[in-house]
Amino acid sequence: MSLFNVRSWWSTQCPDLGEQYDVASLLCARFGLETQEKDYIIVGSQTGQLSIYYPHMQPQSRGSGNVYQVTDLLLETQLHEPILGIYAGKFSGNVRNENVNQLGVLLPNAIAIYNLQVMSGLAEHGSQLRLQLQVEYKFERVAFSMCKGHFGQVKGREFFCVVHLDGTLTFYEQDGIAYECRFPGHRALPAPVAYCERTDSFFRFSATWHLECYSYQDLSHSLISKSSYQPAWSQCIGEGVIDMCVVQVKQDSSFILILGERNFISLDDNGKFHFMLKLDYAPKCFHSFVVGYYWEPGARLISALVSDAGKLYLYEEGNIIWAAQYQDYAPVAIKRSNLNSLPGGIVTLGPTGQLQVGYLGSDPFLFQVPPLNVEELSFAEAHKQLQQLEDEIKEAVDIQDMDAVNQQAADNVRLSFKIQLEVRDDLDTLLLDVPADVAVRELPSARGYLKVKVKTELTELQLVFNTPNGVRCSKDTLSFVDVPGGKTFELELDFYIAELLHVHTTQVDVVASYVSTRGIPRVIQQKAHLPLTMFYKTCQAQKAAGIKLTYAITTKHLVPKLITFFGEFLEPNSEVHALGLQLLCPGLEMVPETITVVAAKNSNRLRIQSDHIEAFPMILERIVQTTLQYDNEAGLIRMDKKKAKKGALNRNVERIIAAPFLPSQPILHRIDIHRETQENIRNQTEKLDALWQQFKTLQRKLQEQSESEPKETLVMQIEENYDHLILEGDKLVEIRKEERRERCDLNCAVSLAKWIIYALNLEERVVNVVLSVLSVPAEDWTELSWEESMAPGIDMLHHFGPLTRSKSTSSTYGLLEASTTTHDSFDYTRFRRHLATLFDRIVRLASMNEPKAVVAEPTAAPVPAEQSPLQQVDEISNLQRMMGEPATSSTSTSRASKSTVGTTLEAVEDDEDEYDEEDLREVGYRKHHGSVDQQENGLRSQWVNKDFDLPTNEELFSDLGIWW
């Protein structure tokens, strides 16, 4: 904190109140309009506002603080373009008076030279100024800044140089002579350019953070001679430049003053460092001037720097001599001016147009130390406050009782989310920006309603609707700020199909995240299901299909009829036993994708069959969710509130049970296609990177060529490379679109496996682990594909999970695999083999535990008349034999019924090839170790570790600490 403040002598507010001012928006100059003239203050904003002030003090206003009067404003006008900079100089040779200067206004595409004319006022009204346009130069490139001076050391007139955004310079001499100059080397960046009159040279800041010096003679002859030129000297600055100026302090040398991002640097005109001052603040602007005349021996170099905190620092060369504080704002521009009644005033311009003329007086910054609180400390009151703060902190971060936290969050923000079962056909596709290929199909949409009731005051509230791929919501995200307590929102939403993709679920989630007034964040979620009529239409039922699934409804609270599950497709009180449904969004082959659901007449079984795996997920989701929903409405305990006991079977089989069959080959086929597309994307990306590097190399060669060398061949190569780059980029876009479609197909395949495993007669922890590993929806990242992210979990199940037969594995092997998986080291063949083995083990284990009643019940699917009932019963076994699996027999069923409830794959007689010997050897396990008696008696597996000791299942899972 500075000890003194900058005292205000004159201040006003510029017309533009926005942040439209920078370091080039302020100018203090004289124009030779009267004999005893002082400095005018010119301000130009980036919105085109131009104002000219002439501050002066009346005798009667002395000692009254701010002396601004209305007559101080001489000109205020609005230009048609933003003002990039304002300059004063002798820009015209037609003016006879040597003391008269013109006003140069730099615009983005032109520079306008104006003459100022005085219009005398009447009575008490002061004089005014009028702008007279003398000449305007148009640019072919966008301008950045301007530099003026006596180029070529001419006398009596000044030239100016415009710096463009591409780094080129355009020189304008009087009488309309103009020429361009491009710097050699790498691409130039727009940066300030300064002119030194003593050496007739220009100083330019390059893209490599070097300060380079070029003589005016070399720059002016470069276009005529077509010759390459090099800088006279170059000095590394090492950081970005905020501003730069040249001041002549001595008769034989000039100083280049550079304000960097963290340093204040001074060099002489020969490139030697004068001083370098490291700043402990972030500077915003500076102004340097000489006290005295440069030919006098006592001339002093003074620099005024302004920090981003509003502090003014005065330096004499590299030594600080004064510091003061600006109270209201941090200036963006600073100048020194000689005004009426105030020589050497400090003129500053704020970011929003605060114009002030101040001086360095002895007005101290009075800081009064607040009185100490000498009240007696009450330990009881302090303990009470401390306890209250601890309770608030505990409420915000304590997650031990998540049920109570979630209940409190649901009470603060209550959500009611419903979706109507009736579909609509009057969707406004133009308003919702539905693609043309989807709009022409006139697909149905659904209407949803969300009611939000806020109980307590909230700082922020955000609502996000998560829809499956291909489905959109008319309002996907809503945000509210400063929500008062007791407010209610009622929203009407439209859900519609926006992409022709396969959908794996009908579930729509609404996620409400809010922040309370005490800064505690909470998230609540509710879900609803879209009607199946958005995605299916009725058709003729199929008698045969490639994939057939069977579900048995075991609950007593549900009648297994089609009208119970698919009421929107059937008439009330319908007794049909077969229903055919066809997807409204088929794949690219445009083949009708039909699925048939058959309900048995004399049993509680449902048969679902189709040739397309993408048609199953939403149908299975409806069957399973409807069955569980009826049990919940009947007053049973919710499934997710009960923790699974060790060795307990899947509780879902008490309501619905699936036949032990997984269509592994179609699922693996979808994964193969997705993996192949990922490899195509990576190869195409590498090809694009190579073409892009080649394109940049050709551009660099073209820029480094001199004007005399032929460029036709190089230009032709650049154009050919550019066309190839665009073509390959279009191919990448098409591959990514194909990847999105295949990812949706993969979601359907994985969802199908999850809904089957969800209702298999397995140990409950087995079901929970497998469902947690098989994640949907599938996500692909730049550095990790879905297969690579799934590989550690599948490998863990293969080696450590309850579905593995061998217990002799290291607990760190799977974790190492998860952390070291990369694109190069990932073995997709191994991942696919492990996933196929996992599906095979799940089917075998479920076949061993399948109840006899489920196996013996006849199927309700329509079959030919010549097929016997015995063949219908054994249809699943026939499918297993086709896949190379042993058929389920009554002997195995009875043997499974005598076993304990806790089931693992140790009870299944697997083949020898289930052991992955290569994987086990990698983690330090050897074959045929241990005593001969132990091997003969079967007390140890043939795979043991070096200590000949095998951990039990419980010891292994307690050491891993994963899943359950």
Q: Does residue 483 sit in the same domain as residue 556?
A: no
Q: What is the pLDDT of residues 102-119, one digit of tens each?
A: 899 999 999 999 988 888
Structurally, the chain folds into a number of domains equal to: 2
Q: What would the DSSP string read from start to end of 450-511? A: EEEEE-S-EEEEEEEEE--TTEEESS-EEEEEEEPTT-EEEEEEEEEE-S-------EEEEE
Cα–Cα distance, 720 to 425 (Å, whole number): 49
- Report the CATH number that the domain containing residue 483 is assigned in CATH: 2.60.40.690
Neighbours of 61 (CB within 10 A): 14
Q: How many Cα atoms within 13 Å fall on the side-chain side of residue 928?
A: 0
3-state helix, strand, coil in the chain (%, to 5): 30, 30, 40
Neighbours of 857 (CB within 10 A): 18
Q: Is 405 helix (H, G, I), strand (E, B) or coil?
A: helix
* Secondary structure in 3-state letters for 704-747: HCCCCCCCHHHHHHHHHHHHHHHHHHHHHHHHHHHHHHHHHHHH
Distance of CA 351 to the CA centre of its chain: 30
Domain end (from 504, 532, 560): 532
Domain end (from 532, 561, 596): 532
Q: Does residue 525 sit in the same domain as residue 557?
A: no
Supply the pLDDT for residue 187: 62
Q: Does residue 542 sit in the same domain as residue 513?
A: no
Supply the pLDDT for residue 141: 85
Strands 507-516 vs 458-466: parallel, antiparallel or unpaired: antiparallel
With tokens 């599938």, the residue in question is 778
Distance of CA 868 to the CA centre of its chain: 62
Cα–Cα distance, 149 to 91 (Å, whole number): 10
* 679: in domain: no
Q: Does residue 562 sit in the same domain as residue 500?
A: no
Q: Is 219 helix (H, G, I), strand (E, B) or coil?
A: helix
Q: Does residue 504 sit in the same domain as residue 566?
A: no
Q: Does residue 492 sit in the same domain as residue 553?
A: no
Is the separation of the CB atoms in 346 and 304 below 8 Å?
Answer: yes
Closest CA to 94 of 15, 210, 175, 203: 175
Is the separation of the CB atoms in 577 and 562 below 8 Å?
Answer: yes
* 474: in domain: yes
* Secondary structure in 3-state letters for 328-341: CCCCCEEEEEEECC
* 55: in domain: no
Q: Does residue 545 sit in the same domain as residue 625?
A: yes
Supply the pLDDT for residue 424: 87
Q: Does residue 450 sit in the same domain as residue 564?
A: no
Residue 415, domain extent: 406-532
pTM of the model: 0.56
Q: Which two tokens stand for residue 807?
A: 């217990």
- For the beta sheet containing 471-473, the strands, ordered from the edge strand earlier in sequence to the opposite edge, are 413-424, 445-454, 488-497, 471-473
318 to each of 262, 302, 773, 833, 916, how far by Cα in Å? 14, 9, 66, 73, 75
Cα–Cα distance, 219 to 253 (Å, whole number): 22
Q: Does residue 546 sit in the same domain as residue 523?
A: no
Cα–Cα distance, 820 to 795 (Å, whole number): 13
* 467: in domain: yes
* 950: in domain: no
Q: Does residue 471 sit in the same domain as residue 555?
A: no
770 to each of 624, 760, 764, 806, how far by Cα in Å? 18, 12, 10, 18
* 505: in domain: yes
- For the beta sheet containing 578-583, the strands, ordered from the edge strand earlier in sequence to the opposite edge, are 536-539, 578-583, 594-599, 605-610, 547-553, 656-658
Q: What would the DSSP string read from start to end of 149-192? A: E-GGG-SS--EEEEEETTS-EEEE-GGG-EEEE--SSSPP----
* 132: in domain: no
In this structure, what are the phi and psi dihedrals at residue 199, rounded to the nearest 5 degrees? -100, 0
The residue ranges of the chain whose pLDDT is under 70 are 1-3, 58-67, 93-97, 121-126, 175-177, 184-188, 222-228, 362-369, 373-374, 398-399, 587-589, 631-647, 707, 800-824, 850-964
Q: Does residue 518 sit in the same domain as residue 565?
A: no
- For the beta sheet containing 507-516, the strands, ordered from the edge strand earlier in sequence to the opposite edge, are 477-483, 458-466, 507-516, 521-529
Q: Which two tokens stand for residue 806?
A: 């061998």
Cα–Cα distance, 877 to 887 (Å, whole number): 5
Domain end (from 591, 617, 636): 636
In this structure, what are the phi and psi dihedrals at residue 9, rounded to the nearest 5 degrees? -110, -35
Q: Does residue 470 sit in the same domain as residue 547?
A: no
Q: Is 210 helix (H, G, I), strand (E, B) or coil?
A: strand
* 551: in domain: yes
Cα–Cα distance, 278 to 193 (Å, whole number): 23
- The letter for the amino acid at 346 is I
Exposure b/e, 12-34, CB count within 10 A at least 16 = b? bebebeeebbbbbbbbbbbbebe
Cα–Cα distance, 299 to 291 (Å, whole number): 6
Q: How many Cα atoms within 13 Å fall on the side-chain side of residue 393?
A: 6
